[in-house]
């Protein structure tokens, strides 16, 4: 019963927030007010506010109450594999940085190896790049690349910030994708640490293969984690 009341409180507050009832940095009703309004113990109201804070809607000031967090305009993102994320952000004029955070050889993974069309004896490297806009980490791009196609990837992968630029340096110039798989998940602890988000900020996960248009070679299998509080997603069917 208490859980359902907590959910009702959260839903009502979110309706008010999303309808524009409160402006950025405006104070929300006190715990006492909501206790009186709903006739519930204070702990239920406190848990509802804590949940909204974890979701990124509000912030608290000790001894003063809860306030609406100013929500930045979400970035429109076309989910296509023909252009690099770096180029998309720079073309839009954002203060964008890409940071290489790891390059490591992976153990055999049937799904990834099958996507790359390589044998179990091949070496595959995992390269992670953190996408930062206005000094805020917003996305994690993880690429899986076979050494049989790029012999220097074990060393060069430590410094790559844009995979597409790396492929261009190897003579590949036009790219496509054969499929895209989109899912939603809450971040695991490592993703929360990297993306600096709470466990209640959902991530949109995009998996796809980047293919060279001219040869049909699969250059990489990619898994991208986008913070849903930072982007809105546009899918074109043209």
Q: Give 50-74 pLDDT, tens digit per residue.
A: 989 888 888 899 889 999 987 666 7
How many domains would you assign to the chain?
2
Does residue 1 surpass a pLDDT of 50? no
Same domain, 96 and 193: yes
Same domain, 60 and 81: no
Q: Which positions ≥6 away from 8 have C-beta within 8 Å? A: 38
Q: Say what angle helices 2-18 and 42-54 make with each other, to 10 degrees.
A: 50
Number of Cβ within 10 Å of residue 68's Cβ equals: 19
Single residue among 22, 42, 68 that ends a domain in this structure: 68
Q: Which positions ≥6 away from 175 have C-beta within 8 Å? A: 81, 82, 83, 164, 167, 210, 211, 212, 213, 219
Smallest Cα–Cα separation from 28: which of 72, 82, 63, 67?
A: 67
Domain enclosing residue 177, as ranges: 75-234
In whole angstroms, give the CA distance from residue 8 to residue 10. Answer: 5
Q: What is the pLDDT of residues 109-136, one digit of tens each?
A: 999 999 999 999 999 999 999 999 989 9
Same domain, 56 and 80: no
The CATH code of the domain that includes 210 is 3.40.1410.10
Number of Cβ within 10 Å of residue 22's Cβ equals: 18
Confidence of residue 201 (pLDDT cuts 50, 70, 90): confident
The CATH code of the domain that includes 57 is 1.10.10.10
Same domain, 107 and 220: yes
Single residue among 17, 51, 68 that ends a domain in this structure: 68
Smallest Cα–Cα separation from 211: which of 237, 174, 180?
A: 174
If residue 130 lies in a helix (H) or strand (E), which one and from where to where?
strand 124-133
Same domain, 196 and 113: yes
Smallest Cα–Cα separation from 208: which of 138, 125, 131, 115?
A: 115
Helix, strand, coil share of the chain (percent; to 5):
30, 30, 40
Q: Quote the distance between the C-alpha of residue 32 and its chain's center.
A: 36
Does residue 82 surpass a pLDDT of 70? no
- Triad 9, 12, 16: Cα angle to 5°: 135
Single residue among 68, 92, 121 that ends a domain in this structure: 68
């Amino acid at each position: 019963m208490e859980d359902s009341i907590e959910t009702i409180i959260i839903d009502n507050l979110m309706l008010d927030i999303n309808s524009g009832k409160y402006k950025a940095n405006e104070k929300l009703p006190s715990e006492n007010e909501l206790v009186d309004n709903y006739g519930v113990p204070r702990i239920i109201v406190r848990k509802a506010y804590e949940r909204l804070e974890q979701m990124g809607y509000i912030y608290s000031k000790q001894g003063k109450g809860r306030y609406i967090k100013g929500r930045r305009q979400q970035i429109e993102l076309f989910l296509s594999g023909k252009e690099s994320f770096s180029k998309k952000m720079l073309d839009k004029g954002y203060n964008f940085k890409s940071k290489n955070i790891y390059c490591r050889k992976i153990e055999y993974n049937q799904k990834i190896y099958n996507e790359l069309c390589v044998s179990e004896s091949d070496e595959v490297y995992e390269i992670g790049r953190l996408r930062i806009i206005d000094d805020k980490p917003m996305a994690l791009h993880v690429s899986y690349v076979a050494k049989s196609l790029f012999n220097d990837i074990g060393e060069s992968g430590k410094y790559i910030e844009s995979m597409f630029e790396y492929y261009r340096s190897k003579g590949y110039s036009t790219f496509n994708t054969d499929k895209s798989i989109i899912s939603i998940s809450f971040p695991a602890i490592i993703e929360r640490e990297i993306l600096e988000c709470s466990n209640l900020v959902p991530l949109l996960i995009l998996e796809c293969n980047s293919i060279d248009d001219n040869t049909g070679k699969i250059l990489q299998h990619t898994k991208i984690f986008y913070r849903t509080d930072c982007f809105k997603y546009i899918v074109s069917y043209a």
